[in-house]
């Protein structure tokens, strides 16, 4: 993709911490940081690293677990962050691109990413199978050049901050939400609060069991009641631990909601459908609509 304006050399940026990892020292390449082609090159390198390290091959079983006979027809990604500068976010995006290739989201049939073939050549397309209408992303932090890189990959941007309130509308949907705030998961569950809708969800993100273990039960039930109520109806498999990606994918699990387990929950569980407001929540962890 073409980059607006020219390239210019600037001062090296200081190291800063974001999402548990240290940002790269890099020379400024125009006002928006690294150009689109540089971002795409770094994504290729991150993807090749995930393949050559064995992490993707080790993770593939976990992501296949919930798919069964109905692979996701769509994908929604929230909270990816500044992948043009943050190594953790870049690896998370590279993982998503490999995942989309594995699932063959564009055709609705499961495929194979060829994980045993080793690193792909530098000129290879990152994810040529994914049409814009089937995979959408949102993060208020995206720069213009990061947005351009996503479009160059055949992905699209959601037009507004949904705060996680995205209904599946009867289509099997993968939600990729690594290291997102608890309210986003809670909002997503609320937006699909029925056995029929939840059974269409696959969520890759923070472990629900980990959330349960870290929060006081009264806080979980008060502020994130939909997470609390669905714990007995969810299955989850953790992504494997790898020394190279401890901060990038820590506490990340694949979640799905088998219809038979959901139907075993008490009918009263489904009666309460009040929209979450978080009035008493001290640390909301998300950017609300209009606060971008």
Model pLDDT for residues 224-248, shown as the tens digit of each residue: 999 999 999 999 999 999 999 999 9
Which pLDDT band holds residue 77 (cuts at 50, 70, 90)? very high
Return the H-helix or E-strand segment holding 221.
Answer: helix 217-223
194: phi then psi, degrees, rounded to nearest 5: -160, 150
How far, in Å, CA of 140 to CA of 118, rounded? 34
Comparing 57 with 114, which gets the higher pLDDT? Answer: 57
Does the global pTM surpass 0.85? no
Rounded distance between C-alpha atoms, residue 176 and residue 133, angstroms = 16
Q: Does position 196 have pLDDT exceeding 90, yes or no?
A: yes
Q: Encode pLDDT of 163-188 as tens digits.
A: 999 999 889 999 999 999 999 999 99
pLDDT at 292: 62
Check whether 275 has a pLDDT greater than 90: yes
pLDDT of residue 24: 43
The secondary structure element, H or E, covering residue 57 is helix 55-64
pLDDT category of residue 20 using cuts at 50, 70 and 90: very low
The encoded tokens of residue 16 equal: 């800063």
Going by the DSSP 8-state scheme, the letter that residue 249 receives in this structure is S
Strands 173-177 and 27-29: unpaired
Tokens representing 193? 């609060």
- Give me the domains of the chain, ranges plus CATH numbers: 34-105+123-269 (3.40.50)
Give Rg (Cα) of the chain: 19
Residue 215 token pair: 């929060």
SS3 109: coil
Residue 79 is predicted with a pLDDT of 93
Q: Using the structure block, give the residue that is written with the tokens 């798919």.
A: 67
Q: What is the pLDDT of residue 284?
A: 74
């Amino acid at each position: 993709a073409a980059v607006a304006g020219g390239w210019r050399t600037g001062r090296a940026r200081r190291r800063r911490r974001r999402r548990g990892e240290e940002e790269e020292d890099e020379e400024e390449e125009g006002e928006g940081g690294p150009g689109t082609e540089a971002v795409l090159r770094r994504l290729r390198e991150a993807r090749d690293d995930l393949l050559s390290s064995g992490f993707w091959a080790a993770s593939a079983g976990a992501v296949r677990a919930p798919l069964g006979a109905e692979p996701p027809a769509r994908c929604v990604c929230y909270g990816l962050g500044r992948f043009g500068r943050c190594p953790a976010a870049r690896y998370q995006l590279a993982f998503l691109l490999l995942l989309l290739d594995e699932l063959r989201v564009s055709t609705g049939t499961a495929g194979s990413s060829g994980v045993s073939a080793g690193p792909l050549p530098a000129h290879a397309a990152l994810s040529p199978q994914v049409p814009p209408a089937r995979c959408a992303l949102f993060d208020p932090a995206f720069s213009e050049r990061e947005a351009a890189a996503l479009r160059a990959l055949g992905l699209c941007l959601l037009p507004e901050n949904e705060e996680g309130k995205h209904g599946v509308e009867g289509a099997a949907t993968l939600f990729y939400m690594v290291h997102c705030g608890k309210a986003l998961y809670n909002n997503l569950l609320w937006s699909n609060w029925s056995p029929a809708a939840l059974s269409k969800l696959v969520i890759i993100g923070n472990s629900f069991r980990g959330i349960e273990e870290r929060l006081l039960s009264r806080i979980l039930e008060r502020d994130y009641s939909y997470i609390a109520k669905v714990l007995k109806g969810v299955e989850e498999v953790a992504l494997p631990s790898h020394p190279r990606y401890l901060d990038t994918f820590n506490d990340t699990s694949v979640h799905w909601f088998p219809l038979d387990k959901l139907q075993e929950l008490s009918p009263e569980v489904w009666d309460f459908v009040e929209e979450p407001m978080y009035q008493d929540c001290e640390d909301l962890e998300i950017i609300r609509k209009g606060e971008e």
